[in-house]
Amino acid sequence: MVFVPGLLVQLGIFGGLFVGFGIIAEWRAGVIDRMMVTPASRTALIAGRVLRDVVVLVAQAIILISCAFLFGLRVPLWAIAAGLVLIGLLGAAFSFLSYAFGLITKSEDAFAPLVNSLALPVLLLSGILLPMSLAPAWLQALASINPFKHVVDALRAIFRGEIGTPEVALGVALAAVLVVLGAWFGNRVFEGQTK
């Protein structure tokens, strides 16, 4: 009940963040240039990739939840559906960012440390690994400005059967804002490729 939402968020963050490796390989193989000379919309080129990643992520999440069911997780179906939407949003935001960073760095050697130095603090400060209630006050304050903590909190609340509470609303709203920011940034980087 507490553990599964954390795992799902972790799946969303890492699943999304690592897709940038793929785009570096594609760039090196000439695929990105090949697509950039077509009249296809730059937004479509990145959003299409992100949507594919979201489909993969949701499939993974469903497998994870099914396994958790075998181990005794009991959550209403609507909560699972809502949870998947939230995870999908989170994954999309990270995919956008990851593609953007991949195309900015164009090198696995630069991309890997960048992603790790982003993922680790996000993970630690979201209370996935350890409950933030064990942390000192300053760390809790820091965590409260980490949007991903609120996404985790929202997912836990959803799994507890809450909906429409401020906690859930905040988490979903933050996830949506992250997607918009990620999309804006990713789109900018894609368009910048031909400048």
Partner 1 sequence: MGAEIQAGQAMIEARQLKRDFKARGRTIEAVRGVDIDVAAGEIVGFLGPNGAGKTTTLKMLTTLLRPTDGSATVAGFDLRRDPQGVRRNIGYVGQAGSTIGSARAGEEIVSHARLYGIDAATANDRARNLLAALDLADVWDRKCGSLSGGQRRRLDIVMGLIHNPRLVFLDEPSTGLDPQSRANLWTHIRKLRDELGTTVFITTHYMDEADSLSDRLLIIDKGEIVAEGTPAELKKKVRGDTITLTMREEKDATEAAGVAGLLAGADAPATDGHIVRFHVSEGASTLPVLLAELARAGIEAIGVEVNRPTLDDVFLTLTGRSLRD
Residue whose entry in the numeric block shows the structure tokens 């994870």:
64
Nearest-CA neighbor of 12 among 186, 170, 182? 182
Which whole-number Å values give the CA distances from 21 to 1, 18, 91, 94, 96, in the listed order?
Answer: 33, 6, 15, 13, 13
Any contact of residue 34 with partner 1 (CB under 8 A)?
yes
Considering only 30, 72, 136, 164, the residue that binds partner 1 (CB under 8 A) is 30
Rounded Cα distance between 68 and 178, Å, is 28
Q: What is the 3-state secondary structure (H, E, C) of 52-116?
A: HHHHHHHHHHHHHHHHHHHCCCCCCHHHHHHHHHHHHHHHHHHHHHHHHHHHHHCCHHHHHHHHH
Of 37-45, 63-71, 138-146, 154-162: span binding partner 1 (CB under 8 A): 37-45
Of 29-37, 69-77, 84-92, 158-166: span binding partner 1 (CB under 8 A): 29-37
Of 20-28, 91-99, 155-163, 174-182: span binding partner 1 (CB under 8 A): 20-28
Helix (H, G, I), strand (E, B) or coil at 29: coil
Considering only 1, 2, 25, 67, the residue that binds partner 1 (CB under 8 A) is 25
Any contact of residue 31 with partner 1 (CB under 8 A)?
yes
Any contact of residue 188 with partner 1 (CB under 8 A)?
no
**Cβ of residue 22: shortest distance to partner 1, in angstroms?**
9
Considering only 7, 10, 14, 36, the residue that binds partner 1 (CB under 8 A) is 36
Any contact of residue 52 with partner 1 (CB under 8 A)?
no
- Contact residues toward partner 1 (CB under 8 A) are 25-26, 28-31, 33-40, 193-195
